[in-house]
């Protein structure tokens, strides 16, 4: 965790290097829909099961993401993603190395859907530091 002083220094450097903040977008090609059964004693609510979707992405190198189903999960199906749907990744600078070129860790910062107003992704990164 960064201290307030470290955060301020990095934030000032990011402001100077605003054009160098790296944002990457991976296309979402579909959504894996799974049913998750309640595990006795784990949840307080009396849900028998619930449905969730997991975005399936493909990066620029043709690699996708992997998902291993747990014993209490059942695949319902796969839904195709709408065109121009993306998983957005941002480069979060580390506190020890932020010189002329950003370095750090890419982390998921959100999703973009065609026709939906998108946040300023660079500002999202600044706010999370």
Contact 105, 94 (CB under 8 A): yes
- Cα 22 to Cα 24: distance, rounded to the nearest angstrom: 7
- Cα 86 to Cα 14: distance, rounded to the nearest angstrom: 24
Angle at 97 between CA 87 and CA 18, to 5 degrees: 55
Cβ neighbours for 61, distance < 8 A, ≥ 6 positions apart:
none
Is pTM beyond 0.75? Reply is: no
Q: Which residue has the higher pLDDT, 99 or 15?
A: 15
**Beta bridge mates, 110:** 88
Residue 69 pLDDT greater than 80, yes or no: yes
The DSSP secondary-structure symbol of 73 reads E
pLDDT on residue 81: 94
Q: Which residue has the higher pLDDT, 4 or 102?
A: 4
pLDDT on residue 84: 92
Q: For the segment 80-119, what is each residue's pLDDT rounded down to a tens digit? A: 999 999 999 887 665 554 454 455 677 889 999 999 999 9
Structure tokens at 120: 């300023």
Residue 59 — pLDDT band, cuts 50, 70, 90? confident
33-49 burial code (b ≥16 CB/10 A, e <16): ebeeeeeeeeeeeeeee
């Amino acid at each position: 965790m960064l201290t307030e002083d470290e955060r301020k220094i990095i934030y000032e450097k990011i402001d100077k290097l605003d054009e160098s903040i790296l944002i990457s977008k991976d296309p979402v090609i579909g959504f894996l829909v799974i049913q998750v059964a309640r595990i006795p004693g784990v949840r307080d609510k009396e849900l028998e099961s619930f449905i969730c979707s997991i975005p399936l992405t493909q990066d620029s190198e043709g690699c996708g993401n992997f998902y291993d189903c747990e014993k209490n999960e059942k695949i319902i199906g796969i839904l195709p993603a709408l065109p121009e749907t993306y998983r957005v990744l941002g480069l979060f600078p580390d506190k020890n190395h932020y010189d002329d070129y950003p370095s750090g860790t890419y982390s998921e910062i959100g999703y973009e859907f065609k026709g939906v107003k998108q946040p300023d992704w660079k500002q999202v990164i600044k706010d999370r530091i």
